[in-house]
């Protein structure tokens, strides 16, 4: 590699001179060529041996000026390589000219006699079958162990059960991944009755293998997808095989693929989108053909799938978008194309990469809302109108009194998404947190502690007494809210709120409804006149504290464990109208009033779709680390600094530990650094107009274009996490790890070819490449043999114990397996 780099630097300063190495060998019958560039054979498809003809200076100048097809991912130099029958040596020499022919002959290496086209295709398919078989064997081995819930199976297995039972729930991720898990469970005979309460619970007689098997199936396909993607980008079987081996023998990818999780589903769609994109790029010389339309449309389908599983699917959308914009820009600059043709290209991409993914993404939500039509634990995250469409919800097909009256039992819901209901319970604020009075919070779920009685501020008489006439609550009235379960009044004072500075504390105060003047609130309807009645569900109301003048609201901040991790309620002195301080009355019980039907409140599908996204985005932003909860930082991930316990803690437990194969991960990290170095050297050489030999120029195009596409994928799937304020875990890095592994395969194959090119002996050059690739493959396989217990399970002494078989493998102190 150092030899090749030094020679490349020398080429930057001086044109390369032909070196005589004896007579030109006979030209082989089958070589790989650029379409339209027959003078550029680069490498044998099977053996990977270099062929060394040069390029005329004029042609090389054209290549340097960027006349090659621009889109990344079209094989060598961004274009598809095709097998082409060679010509005999003298004709080739006469066609290329004496200088070029001399250099080509001097730099050619002897190769074994190549096989037929049929044999080449059979070899490609045989290697694909081999890596696929090995991937499935590693992912499905001991899939049934451990027979209990591991890590986030408690969430996504439970959500699969919700789909089978048609019970509505809330999650911060889009629904496609959970729907597929539920479908896999349903088709495999799982009845949705397992509770998925906590990690470690035994599955017993419940059929969980269908859901695990589905995730393992998609996880197994990552390896052949990587193989095909790298093969398309580099046209090198050794590079594709090395990339496939890195993913096959990575314990982290293996672990994530064996459990009921969203990660293998997400990575499946990301890799499928990447593969279909490079396949569509390879059809660039056949626009609007059937394969071109197929791969373009399939790219759009996979983009919808990636975004439909997790919002981080947006990163691969950005990558495809960048590729598409670059492609269109170069088509626009091709003066041989009419503007009508360019317009057709633009229309095709809009249809397949924007309209089709949006239609499919929207369709997943339509199915989601159609299937989940029963009331469940997610109701409280959504508006009252949304809840009215759920069977079993107290608002579904319900009729309630239309106008609010004194004596009514009500629930008060905050209008900001995912805030919930005004709530209180018998627990007090702890010492040092304002006044030691009853806590008032917001709670996202239906609960008896959400019920309040609305009363006049200056009387304790029972408004429901039949002898009293009905008196409606009006805009501007002074009221008191009494908590039904504890008989304490909603109260505020000048003590500071527990979490939000400069806001006032809100508490429950008084005995049996008797308190003081700090219990009085003025109820106002937003944008209404004084004296107007207050409508249930439809009126947007605010509560103004009479003594301090502050407004009742919720900050949305999660209280510590003493507040049961519910959300903080404050009284803000800032009177600006925000959704945090606007409420509506949802439940309304008053036997003295007639009821009206709520069917008119049910929202349309676009309104449901918009609300669900607002709730999910707010839920994602609200995912903050809890006390003593294990998290990780993005800089930990590429260095494999710390893993994640999937199952078991003690030496008697069946322990599974999510940790990447350190040999694979550190090789990937080294490869990224080497790629940046070598890519910079090549880019400088090309920019300076260096006279690069043909094989170096071809390999440089592979490295810069194919490798650049993979580096872009790694960057887009990794660096955005540094900007996220939500809680992060180690498994968030794995989509980026897929790209770094493919980049490693392309990089080392290219560097080894450059090293082989720099050697004078053809037999030694061939040996360098073969030995290098085999060393990487065997080293990766042996490291998997060492670390495979992390994925397949460990029982016995912990690694800290010298008696443990894993004791010598704890290379970092932060690895706690």
Mean pLDDT of 750-778: 83
Q: Which residue has the tokens 């093969």?
A: 231
Mean pLDDT, range 639-657, rounded to an integer: 83
Return the higher-pLDDT residue of 714 and 79. 714
What DSSP assignment string belongs to 114-171?
Answer: P--HHHHHHHHHHHHHHHHHHHHHHHHTTTT-SSB--TTHHHHHHHHHHHHHTB----
Residue 551: its H or E element: strand 551-558
Is residue 453 within 8 A of residue 404, CB to CB? The reply is no
Inform me whether the pLDDT recorded for 26 exceeds 50: no
> Does residue 21 carry a pLDDT above 50?
no
For the chain, count helices (H), then strands (E): 24, 18
Return the structure tokens found at 748: 């080392």
Range with the poorest average pLDDT among 239-253, 312-326, 359-373, 639-653 = 639-653
* Mean pLDDT of all residues in 102-130: 62
Q: Does the pLDDT of residue 38 top 70, yes or no?
A: no
Above 90 in pLDDT, residue 304? yes
Query: Alpha-carbon torsion 508, 509, 512, 513, what sign?
Result: negative
- Per 3-state DSSP, the chain is made up of helix, strand and coil in percentages (nearest 5) of 50, 15, 40
* Percent with pLDDT over 70 in the chain: 83
Q: Calculate the average pLDDT of the chain.
A: 82
CA distance 554 to 421: 10
DSSP state letter for 374:
B
722 CB-near residues (< 8 Å, 6+ apart): 634
**Tokens standing for 732?**
């968030």
pTM above 0.95, yes or no: no
Binned at pLDDT 50, 70 and 90, residue 378 comes out as confident
Measured CA distances, 528 to 456, 532, 535 (Å)? 21, 7, 12
Contact 256, 734 (CB under 8 A): yes
**Tens digit of each residue's pLDDT (9 = 90 or more) over 113-124:** 445 677 777 888
Q: Under a CB-based contact definition with an 8 Å cutoff, are residues 389 and 181 in contact?
A: no
For residues 579 and 474, give the distance between their C-alpha atoms in angstroms, rounded to a whole number.
21
Dmax over CA atoms of the chain, in Å, equals 119
CB 209 within 8 A of CB 243: no
Model confidence at 25, in pLDDT bands (50, 70, 90)? very low
What does the pLDDT average to over 720-735? 88
Q: Residue 513 pLDDT more than 50? A: yes
The pLDDT value recorded for residue 530 is 62
The residue ranking higher by pLDDT, 402 or 339, is 339
Q: How far apart are CA 422 and CA 414, in angstroms?
A: 7
Q: Can you say how many angstroms the Cα of residue 276 is from the centroid of all Cα atoms in its chain?
A: 18
Query: Residue 626: what pLDDT?
Result: 61
The pLDDT tens digits of the residues spanning 58-83 come to 333 333 333 333 333 333 333 333 33
Tell me the three-class secondary structure of 268-318, residue by residue.
Answer: HHHHHHHHHHHHHHHCCCCCCCHHHHHHHHHHHHHHHHHHHHCHHHHHHHH
Q: Is it the case that residue 223 has pLDDT exceeding 70?
A: yes
């Amino acid at each position: 590699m150092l030899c090749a780099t030094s020679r490349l630097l020398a080429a930057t300063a001086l044109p390369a001179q032909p070196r005589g190495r004896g007579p030109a060998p006979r030209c082989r019958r089958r070589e790989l060529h650029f379409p339209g560039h027959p003078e550029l054979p680069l490498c044998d498809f099977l053996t990977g041996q270099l062929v060394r003809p040069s390029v005329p200076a004029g042609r090389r100048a054209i290549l340097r000026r960027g006349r090659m097809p621009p889109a990344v991912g079209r094989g060598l130099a961004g274009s598809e390589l095709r097998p082409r029958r060679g010509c005999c040596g003298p004709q080739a020499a006469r066609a290329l000219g004496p200088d070029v022919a001399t250099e080509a002959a001097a730099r050619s290496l002897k190769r074994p006699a190549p096989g037929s086209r049929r044999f080449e295709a059979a070899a490609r398919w045989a290697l694909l079958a081999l890596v696929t078989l090995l991937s499935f064997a590693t992912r499905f081995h001991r899939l049934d162990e451990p027979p209990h819930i591991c890590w986030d199976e408690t969430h996504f297995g439970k959500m699969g059960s919700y789909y089978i039972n048609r019970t509505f729930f809330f999650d911060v991720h889009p629904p496609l991944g959970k729907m597929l898990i539920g479908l896999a469970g349903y088709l495999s005979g799982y009845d949705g009755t397992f509770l998925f309460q906590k990690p470690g619970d035994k599955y017993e007689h419940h059929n969980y293998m269908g859901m695990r098997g589905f995730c393992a199936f998609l996880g197994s396909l990552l390896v052949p997808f990587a193989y095909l993607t790298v093969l398309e980008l580099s046209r090198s079987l050794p590079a594709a095989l090395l990339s496939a081996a890195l993913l096959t023998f990575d314990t982290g990818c293996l672990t994530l693929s064996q459990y009921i999780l969203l990660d293998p589903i997400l990575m499946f769609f990301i890799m499928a989108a990447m593969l279909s994109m490079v396949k569509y790029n390879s059809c660039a010389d056949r626009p609007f053909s059937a394969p071109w339309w197929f791969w373009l449309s399939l790219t759009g389908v996979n983009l919808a799938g990636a975004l439909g599983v997790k919002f981080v699917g947006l990163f691969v959308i950005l990558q495809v978008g960048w590729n598409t914009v670059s492609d269109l820009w170069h088509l626009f600059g091709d003066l041989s194309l009419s503007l009508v043709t360019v317009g057709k290209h633009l229309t095709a991409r809009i249809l397949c990469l924007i309209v089709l993914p949006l239609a499919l993404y929207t369709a997943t939500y339509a199915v989601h809302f159609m299937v989940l039509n029963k009331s469940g634990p997610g109701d409280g995250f959504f508006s009252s109108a949304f809840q009215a469409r759920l069977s079993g919800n107290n608002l579904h097909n319900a009729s309630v009194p239309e106008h609010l009256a004194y004596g009514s039992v009500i629930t008060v819901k905050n209008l900001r998404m995912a805030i919930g209901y005004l709530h209180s319970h018998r627990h007090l604020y702890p010492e040092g947190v304002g006044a030691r009075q009853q806590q008032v919070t917001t709670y996202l779920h239906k609960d008896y502690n959400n019920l309040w009685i609305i009363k006049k501020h200056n009387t304790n008489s029972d408004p429901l007494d039949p002898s009293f006439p009905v008196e409606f609550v009006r805009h501007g009235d002074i009221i008191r809210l009494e908590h039904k379960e504890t008989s304490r009044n909603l109260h505020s004072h000048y003590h500071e709120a527990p979490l939000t500075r400069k806001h006032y504390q809100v508490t429950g105060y008084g005995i049996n409804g008797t308190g003081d003047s700090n219990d009085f609130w003025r109820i106002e309807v937003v944008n209404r006149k004084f004296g107007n009645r207050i409508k249930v569900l439809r009126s947007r109301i605010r509560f103004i504290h009479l003594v301090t003048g502050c407004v009742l609201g919720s900050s949305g901040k999660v209280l510590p464990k003493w507040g049961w991790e519910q959300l903080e309620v404050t009284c803000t002195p800032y009177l600006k109208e925000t959704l945090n301080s606007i409420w509506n009355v949802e439940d309304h019980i008053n036997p003295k009033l007639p009821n009206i039907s709520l069917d008119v409140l049910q929202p349309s599908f676009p309104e449901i779709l918009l609300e669900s996204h607002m709730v999910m985005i707010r839920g994602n932003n609200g995912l903050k680390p809890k006390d003593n909860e294990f998290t990780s930082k993005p800089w930990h991930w590429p260095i494999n600094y710390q893993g994640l316990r999937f199952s078991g803690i003690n030496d008697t437990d069946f322990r599974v530990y999510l940790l990447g194969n350190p040999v694979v991960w550190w090789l990937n990290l080294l490869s990224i650094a080497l790629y940046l170095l070598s890519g910079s050297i090549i880019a400088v050489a090309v920019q300076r107009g260096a006279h690069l030999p043909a094989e170096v120029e071809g390999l440089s195009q592979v490295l810069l274009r194919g490798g650049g596409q993979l580096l872009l994928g790694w960057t887009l799937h990794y660096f955005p996490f540094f900007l996220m304020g939500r809680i992060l875990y180690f498994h968030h890095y794995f989509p980026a790890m897929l790209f770094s592994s493919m980049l490693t395969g392309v990089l080392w194959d290219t560097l080894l070819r450059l090293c082989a090119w720099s050697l004078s002996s053809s037999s030694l050059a061939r040996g360098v490449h073969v030995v290098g690739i085999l060393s990487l493959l065997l080293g990766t396989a042996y490291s998997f043999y060492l670390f495979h217990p992390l994925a397949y399970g460990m029982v016995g002494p912990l690694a800290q114990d010298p008696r443990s078989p894993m004791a010598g493998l704890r290379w970092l102190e932060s690895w706690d397996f």
